[in-house]
């Protein structure tokens, strides 16, 4: 055995890591992939319920069943990735070809029929009190409560049916539009006609929202729901095919654990850039005007706007995603690994104690996802009264924007900026200690967010939107975001360590299977967080008709901070604070006695490098490992294994010459 050959190979392997160009390409792809995730995660549920009007129970079942399937599908996909052997490696092939597939499956859920067609073919015809008609209490009358007042709606021509011409077709006006049914509006209490045009039209719009839907039935209804369910599950499956290799490849891009921590830290930070996908719901209505100009009605023009933006944003994000597949190179060879069946991989996942601890901890931390789910609703209602345009045209717009900037800097400074220091912290402190510190200490600022809201300005007209209030919130959100972002980095780094642990013990690198656990944690956490938010919303009545009434009340000058005695505002602050605080505290329990110490992982990683050096040099592996173990025992694991191995081999050659 040539000592020079082993030394050369070991040195090469110990510095076998990614280039700056490869890192930049990987991070670009990650940003694109996360934009796609946020389009679906934050926009699709709203689209299903508020744009194409699927039944709420159907939407709940679709998302719940998808989560159950993810629990099975993610580890299966991880197993498939680990069995992959190509000239590019085992993760790169998927990153090359899956972005185009995800482009299609992301758009498919939006291309669907409308489960309920809004019937907006009504218009107000005002009557004064003397014009009260006898059939106001007939079977034609429809009743609706709006803003605490009950109103009666009566068709002026004695029928709700549209007018027909002599051929039985809908009667058209001179501009080619359907002649609408004229409706008279009365107050139910005194049967007085509503003579205020603006009020009558607002109430009529509410009437059309509540009572003016024509729902699909039979096969058409079943087909629309089936399309929504199948397309969403299909998206989830294809997203998984890209997500698991995208994170799994980080343990194959380098053999240097510091470089690995660096790429995972940057990856977690860049993933937050993908949060621009959360703006999808807010931006889409801006495209509505172009379709209205073509003669489309309110409902269908809004649907067309969402489809258009889904295509534009997904195409852009998919192009970015493609950079990952083009750029990354796998530096850790897996060609000689053993492979296992899916059943065996499930056993490996749960048999690996440190990985099992991280998995359980991540699930317990699920409520942290509420910050992302509720944030857009909180911002839109609490800070902009659900009308950005009106708020930004007010007198104190500069002051308001500066206050919001203070809050945003605090939140994103903590979530994106602080985790960049995690690699330096890892060099100084045990990863287990850092993980438990951020879970336990991170629970404190989350809890204080709600306490501060309840004690300081709950139910007042300006709420927390004061200089003092926003400054305190900024500090609290910075601390909470710093803990959340740091835990995301540590979780990924520790999962990569678990892959090394498994290779050391069983001779395989289950990158795909183990990082499928991270994907599973994210999806399951979102499902659990959705159930929590749904339960809280139902408890306070922040759903369905009440939201429509709230929106109308805000249009008519009400203030969200004081509306309903501030209960809705309190519910939103509760969701972004209390459940996450509880989840963070619980997440520390499984990892208090974490099974893989940094000292042990360093020993394992060094030995793995020596094994690969021996294999690459065609040297007997047992000889190198025996020498390595002797060196580690003698130096108490604090020396560089590869250097000592080379010295021992050279000494043996000198003795042979003597």
Task: Assess contact for 117 and 302: CB atoms under 8 A.
Answer: no
Model confidence pLDDT, tens digit, residues 48-69: 877 787 776 777 778 777 877 8
Share of the chain above pLDDT 90, in %: 24
Q: What are the φ/ψ torsions at residue 622 (nearest 5 degrees)? A: -60, -35
Is 554 a residue whose pLDDT tops 60? yes
Task: Assess contact for 121 and 171: CB atoms under 8 A.
Answer: no
**pLDDT for position 283:** 79
Query: What gap in Å lies between CA 328 and CA 23, rounded to an integer?
Result: 7
Model confidence pLDDT, tens digit, residues 433-446: 999 999 999 999 99
Q: With 0-12 CB in 10 A as exposed, 13-18 as middle and 19+ as buried, what is 541?
A: middle
Bridge partners for 116 per DSSP? 215
Q: Which of 345-349, 369-373, 540-544, 603-607 has the lowest mean pLDDT?
A: 540-544
- Kindly state the tokens that stand for 395: 């007198």
| Region 153-168 average pLDDT | 77
Domain range list for the chain = 19-115+217-336, 121-211, 598-657
Q: Which of 372-376, 484-488, 648-652 has the lowest mean pLDDT?
A: 648-652
| Region 14-41 average pLDDT | 87
Tell me which H or E stretch contains 614: helix 598-616
Query: What gap in Å lies between CA 331 and CA 78, rounded to an integer?
Result: 19
Task: Assess contact for 254 and 330: CB atoms under 8 A.
Answer: no
Is 38 a residue whose pLDDT tops 80? yes
Query: What gap in Å lies between CA 515 and CA 75, rounded to an integer?
Result: 9
Query: What gap in Å lies between CA 146 and CA 205, rounded to an integer?
Result: 11
Residue with the two structure tokens 């390409």: 25
Q: With 0-12 CB in 10 A as exposed, 13-18 as middle and 19+ as buried, what is 355?
A: buried
Bridge partners for 184 per DSSP? 154
Is 643 a residue whose pLDDT tops 50? no
Q: How many Å separate Cα 350 from the centre of its chain?
A: 26
Q: Which of 204-213, 404-413, 594-603 has the lowest mean pLDDT?
A: 204-213
Q: How many Å separate Cα 446 from the centre of its chain?
A: 19
pLDDT classification of 114: cutoffs 50, 70, 90: confident
| Region 640-650 average pLDDT | 43
- Kindly state the tokens that stand for 571: 């519910």
Query: DSSP readout, 279-335?
Result: GHHHHGGGGHHHHHTTT--HHHHHHHHHHHHHHHHHHHHHHHHHHHHHH----S--T
| Region 465-490 average pLDDT | 91
**pLDDT for position 547:** 62
In total, the chain counts a number of residues equal to: 658
Highest mean pLDDT among 86-95, 254-263, 264-273, 447-456: 447-456
Model confidence pLDDT, tens digit, residues 253-300: 887 777 877 887 788 778 777 777 777 866 777 787 788 777 676 677
Query: DSSP readout, 395-457?
Result: TTHHHHHHHHHHHHHHHHIIIIIGGGGHHHHHHHS-HHHHHHHHHHHHHHHHHHHHHHHHHHT
Residue with the two structure tokens 């940003």: 31
List b or e across 555-574, with b for residues whose CB sees 16 or more CB atoms inside 10 angstroms.
Answer: eeebebbebbebebbbbbbb
Residue 402 half-sphere exposure toward CB, CA atoms < 13 A: 7
Q: Which residue, 395, 388, 587, 341, is CA-closest to 484?
A: 587
Radius of gyration for the alpha carbons in the chain, expressed in angstroms and rounded: 30
Task: Assess contact for 404 and 383: CB atoms under 8 A.
Answer: yes
**pLDDT for position 628:** 44
Model confidence pLDDT, tens digit, residues 379-399: 778 888 876 666 766 677 788
Task: Assess contact for 563 and 553: CB atoms under 8 A.
Answer: yes
Average pLDDT, the chain: 79
Q: Are strands 213-215 and 181-187 parallel, antiparallel or unpaired?
A: unpaired
Residue with the two structure tokens 């520390």: 588
**pLDDT for position 364:** 93
pLDDT classification of 635: cutoffs 50, 70, 90: very low
SS3 536: helix
To the nearest 10 degrees (0 to 180), the angle between helices 342-351 and 56-83 is 100
Task: Assess contact for 383 and 465: CB atoms under 8 A.
Answer: yes
**pLDDT for position 544:** 53
- Cα distances (Å, whole numbers) of residue 543 to 49, 59, 528, 568: 11, 14, 18, 10
Bridge partners for 186 per DSSP? 152, 193
Residues ≥6 apart with Cβ < 8 Å to 116: 52, 53, 213, 214, 215, 216
Residues ≥6 apart with Cβ < 8 Å to 438: 482, 483, 486, 487, 490
Is 323 a residue whose pLDDT tops 50? yes
Q: Which of 22-26, 397-401, 415-419, 548-552 has the lowest mean pLDDT?
A: 548-552
Query: What gap in Å lies between CA 524 and CA 185, rounded to an integer?
Result: 48
Is 104 a residue whose pLDDT tops 90? yes
Q: How many Å separate Cα 36 from the centre of its chain?
A: 9
Query: What gap in Å lies between CA 650 and CA 643, rounded to an integer?
Result: 11
Query: DSSP readout, 236-286?
Result: HHHHHHHHHHHHHGGGTS-S-HHHHHHHHHHHHHHHGGGGGGGGHHHHGGG
Domain 19-115+217-336 has CATH 1.20.1250.20: yes
Query: What gap in Å lies between CA 629 and CA 423, rounded to an integer?
Result: 28
Task: Assess contact for 242 and 5: CB atoms under 8 A.
Answer: no
- Kindly state the tokens that stand for 477: 């959100």
Q: What are the φ/ψ torsions at residue 175 (nearest 5 degrees)? A: -95, 0
**pLDDT for position 483:** 93
- Kindly state the tokens that stand for 342: 């899916």
């Amino acid at each position: 055995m040539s000592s020079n050959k082993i030394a050369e190979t070991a040195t090469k392997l110990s510095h076998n890591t990614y280039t700056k160009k490869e890192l930049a390409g990987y991070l670009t792809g990650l940003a694109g992939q996360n934009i796609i995730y946020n389009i679906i995660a934050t926009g699709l549920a709203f689209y299903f319920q508020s744009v194409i009007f699927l039944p709420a129970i159907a939407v709940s079942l679709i998302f719940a069943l998808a989560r159950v399937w993810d629990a099975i599908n993610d580890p299966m996909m991880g197993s498939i990735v680990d069995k992959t052997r190509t000239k590019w490696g085992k993760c790169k092939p998927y990153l090359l070809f899956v972005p185009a597939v995800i482009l299609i499956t992301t758009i498919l859920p939006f291309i669907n029929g409308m489960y309920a067609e809004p019937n907006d073919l009504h218009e107000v015809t005002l009557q004064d009190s003397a014009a009260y008609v006898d059939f106001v209490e007939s079977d034609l009358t429809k009743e609706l409560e709006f803003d605490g007042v009950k109103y009666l709606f009566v068709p002026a021509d004695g029928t709700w049916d549209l007018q027909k011409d002599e051929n039985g077709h809908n009667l058209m006006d001179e501009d080619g539009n359907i002649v609408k049914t004229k409706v008279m509006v009365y107050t139910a209490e005194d049967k007085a006609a509503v003579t205020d045009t603006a009020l009558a039209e607002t109430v009529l719009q509410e009437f059309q929202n509540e009572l003016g839907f024509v729902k699909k039935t039979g096969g058409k209804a079943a087909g629309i729901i089936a399309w929504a369910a199948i397309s969403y599950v299909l998206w989830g499956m294809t997203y998984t095919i890209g997500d698991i290799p995208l994170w799994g490849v980080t343990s194959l891009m380098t053999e240097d654990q510091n470089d690995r921590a660096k790429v995972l830290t940057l990856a977690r930070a860049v993933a937050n850039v993908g949060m621009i996908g959360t703006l999808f719901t807010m931006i889409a209505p801006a495209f509505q005007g172009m379709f209205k100009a073509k003669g489309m009605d309110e409902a269908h023009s809004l649907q067309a706007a969402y489809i258009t933006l889904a295509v534009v944003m997904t195409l852009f994000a998919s192009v970015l995603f493609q950079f990952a597949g083009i750029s990354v190179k796998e530096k850790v060879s897996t060609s000689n690994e053993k492979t296992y069946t899916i059943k065996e991989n499930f056993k490996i996942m749960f048999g690996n104690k440190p990985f099992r601890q991280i998995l359980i901890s991540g699930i317990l931390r699920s409520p942290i996802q509420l910050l992302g789910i509720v944030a857009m609703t909180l911002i839109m209602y609490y800070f902009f009264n659900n009308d950005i345009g009106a708020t930004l045209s007010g007198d104190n717009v500069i002051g308001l924007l500066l206050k919001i900037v203070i809050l945003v800097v605090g939140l994103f400074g903590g979530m994106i900026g602080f985790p960049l220091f995690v690699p330096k912290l890892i060099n100084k402190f045990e990863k287990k200690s850092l993980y438990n510190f951020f879970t336990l200490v991170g629970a404190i600022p989350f809890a204080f967010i709600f306490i501060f809201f309840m004690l300081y300005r709950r139910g007042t007209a300006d709420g927390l939107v004061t200089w003092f209030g926003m400054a305190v919130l900024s500090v609290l959100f910075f601390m909470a975001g710093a803990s959340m972002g740091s835990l995301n980095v540590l979780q990924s780094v520790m999962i990569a360590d678990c892959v090394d642990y498994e290779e050391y013990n069983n001779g395989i690198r289950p990158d795909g299977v183990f990082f499928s656990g991270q994907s599973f944690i994210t999806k399951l956490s979102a499902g659990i967080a959705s159930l929590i938010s749904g339960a809280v919303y139902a408890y306070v009545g922040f759903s369905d008709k009440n939201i429509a009434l709230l929106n109308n009340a805000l249009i008519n000058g009400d203030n969200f901070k004081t509306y309903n005695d501030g209960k809705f505002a309190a519910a939103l602050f509760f969701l972004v604070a209390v459940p996450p605080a509880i989840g963070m505290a619980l997440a520390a329990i499984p990892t208090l006695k974490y099974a893989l110490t940094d000292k042990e992982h360093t020993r394992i990683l060094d030995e793995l490098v020596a094994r690969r050096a021996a294999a690459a040099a065609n040297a007997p592996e047992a000889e190198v490992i025996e020498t390595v173990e002797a060196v580690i025992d003698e130096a108490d694991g604090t020396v560089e294994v590869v250097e000592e191995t080379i010295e021992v081999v050279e000494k043996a050659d000198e003795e042979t010459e003597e």
